[in-house]
Amino acid sequence: MTTATEKGKILTANRLQDGEVVFLTHSGQWSENIDGAVLATEPQAQAALEARGKEQERVNVVTGVYLFDAERRDGHVFATHIKERIRSLGPTVRIDLGKQAEGKGGHFAALQGV
């Protein structure tokens, strides 16, 4: 049974120390896997995500915080745009590298070629 698609935004950043791409979770912590990310569907919730992200920047945990379009389908979250899909998986031309190769690529099947 497929559920309807829920649209919203996810907050991402790079961990300051090692540059790892991370996503903000429901508890305000950071997940290396987009699967753990919280999807904010309402503007207020999105603003709250951004505030938490900026605060984490201020205390030098992460850098480069931004919100991106995402959706929830069948219980899992996915990036809407190809840029964040690649960000959450790894390079499409090296599927042996990045989160997709380390079991941290969420539930989106690896994008391949053109």
How many C-beta atoms surround the C-beta of residue 68 within 10 A? 17
Q: What is the phi-psi region of residue 87: left when phi exceeds 0, alpha when psi lies from -120 to 50, beta otherwise?
A: alpha
How big is the site for another protein, counted in residues (CB under 8 A)? 27
User: CB–CB of 35/89 below 8 Å?
Assistant: no
Question: Judged by CB under 8 A, which of 5, 6, 7, 17 binds another protein?
Answer: 17
Site string for another protein, 74-103 (x = CB under 8 A): ------xxxx--xx--xxxxx--xx-----
Residue 110 · residue 94 · CB < 8 Å:
no
Rounded to the nearest 5°, which phi and psi values hold at 35?
A: -55, -30
x/- site string to another protein, residues 20 to 49, per CB under 8 A?
Answer: xx----------------------------
CB of 44 to another protein, least distance (A): 26
Q: What are the residues binding another protein (CB under 8 A)?
A: 14, 16-21, 57, 59-60, 63-64, 80-83, 86-87, 90-94, 97-98, 113-114
